[in-house]
Amino acid sequence: MAAPLLSAAPVVRLTKAFTTPYRNVVATARTCYSSKGIIDDSEVGEPERFSPLAKSIYEAGHHTTFQHAHFQFAIENASRHFIWSFLHSHPFYNSEQVSQRYVTVKPDTVLVPQLDEPALSVYRETVEKQFTAYRKLCGLFHAPVEAEFFRRFNRSERMAKSHQRTIKKKAQEAARYVLPVGTHAYLYHTVSAVTLLRYWRVADQLDTPTETRMIVGEMVRQLLEFDPEYNITLQEPLDKSVFPETEFYRTHTESLNGHATSSFREEFDAQLDGKWSRLVSWTSGAEELVASAVRETLGIARNTLSDDDAIRLAMNPAANSLLGESLNLTTVSKLSRALYHAHYTFRRKISHTADSQDQRHRMTPASRPVMMAHIDETPDYITPEIVLHSDEARRIYEDTMAASWEAVTKLRRLGVHDEWAGYLLPNAVSVRCTESADLLNLRHKHQMRLCYNAQEEIWRASRDEALQIRDLQPKLGQYLLPPCTLRNMAKAKPICPEGSRYCGVIVWKKDVQEYERVI
């Protein structure tokens, strides 16, 4: 791909696909109106015969026929920022992405745009500082991480040797906060045809339009090479001027100045009231609503099943053993779907790197920001707890944050577009947003993220959320618990499902209020 980059260009490969995807669109559409049964792909005829039907259903918005065919792409040299801002910003995908938590990040694996001097030197020198800090912090974090780790386990020579890989991973998990969001990743990414068509239509939206056009454009090119019949309905990308964010910033330039940004951040942070995640809206009467929905499912009256017993039947693993399963069965379980009706909304502030993991919970969506609209000259970042356990590490961390913001500010003053300057922001940069969820999917998220092995910030935010719901609606909130506690209640064995990754803490004997951790 021709690219305005000095670094390695993105690589996209279509690795798996339906054999005749577009003809399947027509076959599924015709099956809806067939008196002869299922229509096979081979029965749809030539394009001149089925094009009118395909265009008609597409233009009318009947797009479920386009969802059947899925395409798996292997993508390399894609920035973490692009993945966060675009690929993972919606619910209709599946990805398996290399982890910065568990894989050491190598030098020269970062997006570098074609910039004029002196901007290019500023960019390259800052990336070098960030990667140098990463390598130093990986070493400096080893001792405090090891000390915290062995507070949980009996320290012996055997244990020390067997756990050194885990200690290394936890050290680099914290060190990665200084790396730029422009750092490359590689991943498998699977989407339906309709999602890929949507990708192409909105490819010019903020934050990373150039990289998006490059990667999505190549995905579409390979789709058309594989099945040219998609040309029948493929639309060109919308002009960037039609996106409401772009038009707003064009007519409200004052919204992007430092004072406006600072005022927004102060206002948002004041609403958090010292929490990582603060409950700001919820379904009133949620306990009664869920209990009523359980009774409706069973077809029984209140005098047969009280609210407490109805909620217990749906949410207590001792009564609903499905909740002790590792495979999340709640969305396909009749009784569990009663939890859909309670909704909660949180405002929260976590780092870019933590939010990149949090957004993988696709059924707890958030309204994520235009990133550079939140950035002014003042460093604004999250600090992992372990940083505070080493004076030298703290100095390096804070110096790297200051250097990163200084570079972004300098690039802006040199006239570099925000799209390119934004790639220098560190993983630690704060992301402020509002997230909403129904109880069914929030319960599953908390089951995964209250585990002590979960990413630190998401764990802290989930703890805040669970405690706030428990205080407000205790009949429901008492069951927002980590996997080991739920499995213990269900009498499932082993209690901890993590095997060799066991955190070393008997969490199932603790109250959520007692949870604390450093690593």
Regarding whether 463 and 408 lie in a shared domain, the answer is no
In a domain, 260, yes or no: no
Task: From 202, 232, 247, give the residue that closes a domain.
Answer: 247
Going by the DSSP 8-state scheme, the letter that residue 67 receives in this structure is: T
Task: From 431, 447, 475, give the residue that closes a domain.
Answer: 431
Regarding whether 81 and 27 lie in a shared domain, the answer is yes
In a domain, 274, yes or no: no
In a domain, 264, yes or no: no
pLDDT in tens, 418-463: 999 999 999 999 999 999 999 999 999 999 999 999 999 999 999 9
pLDDT for the residue 307: 97
Per DSSP, what are the bridge partners of residue 349? Answer: 432
In a domain, 223, yes or no: yes
User: What mean pLDDT comes out for the span 484-508?
Assistant: 93
Regarding whether 94 and 17 lie in a shared domain, the answer is yes
Percent of the residues in the chain that have a pLDDT greater than 70, as a whole number? 98
> Reduced to 3 states, what is the DSSP secondary structure of residue 460?
helix
Regarding whether 231 and 96 lie in a shared domain, the answer is yes
Centre a 10 Å sphere on the Cβ of residue 515 and count the other Cβ atoms it contains: 18
In a domain, 165, yes or no: yes
Regarding whether 61 and 26 lie in a shared domain, the answer is yes
Average pLDDT, the chain: 95
Closest by Cα among 399, 406, 457 to 432:
457
Confidence class for position 158, pLDDT limits 50, 70, 90:
low
Contact between residue 496 and residue 459 where contact means Cβ atoms under 8 Å apart? no
Contact between residue 171 and residue 384 where contact means Cβ atoms under 8 Å apart? no
Range of the domain at 86: 11-100+183-247
Does residue 15 register a pLDDT over 70? yes
In a domain, 275, yes or no: no
Instruction: For residue 415, give both structure tokens.
Output: 């006239």
pLDDT for the residue 259: 82
In a domain, 111, yes or no: no
Contact between residue 378 and residue 405 where contact means Cβ atoms under 8 Å apart? yes
pLDDT for the residue 155: 65
pLDDT for the residue 324: 86
Regarding whether 176 and 48 lie in a shared domain, the answer is no
pLDDT in tens, 239-295: 999 999 999 998 888 777 778 899 999 999 999 999 999 999 999 999 999 999 999
Does residue 2 register a pLDDT over 60? no
* Higher per-residue confidence, 166 vs 267: 267
User: What mean pLDDT comes out for the span 471-485?
Assistant: 97
pLDDT for the residue 253: 81
User: What strands lie across the sheet with 11-17, from one edge to the other?
Assistant: 11-17, 70-79, 184-192, 94-97
Q: Which residues contact 248 (CB under 8 A, 6 or more apart)?
A: 255
Regarding whether 92 and 16 lie in a shared domain, the answer is yes
User: What mean pLDDT comes out for the span 472-489?
Assistant: 97
> Reduced to 3 states, what is the DSSP secondary structure of residue 272?
helix
Regarding whether 443 and 417 lie in a shared domain, the answer is no
In a domain, 192, yes or no: yes
Does residue 408 register a pLDDT over 50? yes
Instruction: For residue 228, give both structure tokens.
Output: 């040219």
CA distances for 181 relative to 127, 178, 273, angstroms: 10, 9, 28
Length of the chain equals 519
Q: State in Å, rounded, how far the first CA of the chain is from the last one.
A: 41
Task: From 247, 269, 294, give the residue that closes a domain.
Answer: 247
Confidence class for position 150, pLDDT limits 50, 70, 90:
confident
> Reduced to 3 states, what is the DSSP secondary structure of residue 165?
helix
Regarding whether 191 and 174 lie in a shared domain, the answer is no
Residue 27 is part of a domain; what is its CATH number?
A: 3.30.1360.170
pLDDT in tens, 83-104: 999 999 999 999 999 998 889 9
Regarding whether 172 and 44 lie in a shared domain, the answer is no
Distance CA 436, CA 345 (A): 4
pLDDT in tens, 189-238: 999 999 999 999 999 999 999 999 999 999 999 999 999 999 999 999 99
Regarding whether 172 and 53 lie in a shared domain, the answer is no
Q: Which residues contact 431 (CB under 8 A, 6 or more apart)?
A: 349, 350, 351, 352, 354, 355, 368, 369, 371, 374
Confidence class for position 1, pLDDT limits 50, 70, 90:
very low
pLDDT for the residue 348: 98
Does residue 131 register a pLDDT over 60? yes
pLDDT in tens, 365-387: 999 999 999 999 999 999 999 99
Lowest mean pLDDT among 60-69, 160-169, 331-340: 160-169
**Domains in the chain, number:** 3
Going by the DSSP 8-state scheme, the letter that residue 391 receives in this structure is: H
The interaxial angle of helices 286-298 and 307-315, nearest 10 deg, is 80
Tell me, what amino acid is at 181?
A: V
Regarding whether 322 and 310 lie in a shared domain, the answer is yes
Q: Which residues contact 22 (CB under 8 A, 6 or more apart)?
A: 54, 69, 193, 227, 229, 230, 232
pTM of the model: 0.95
Distance CA 229, CA 22 (A): 6
pLDDT for the residue 486: 95
Provide the greatest CA pair distance for the chain.
77
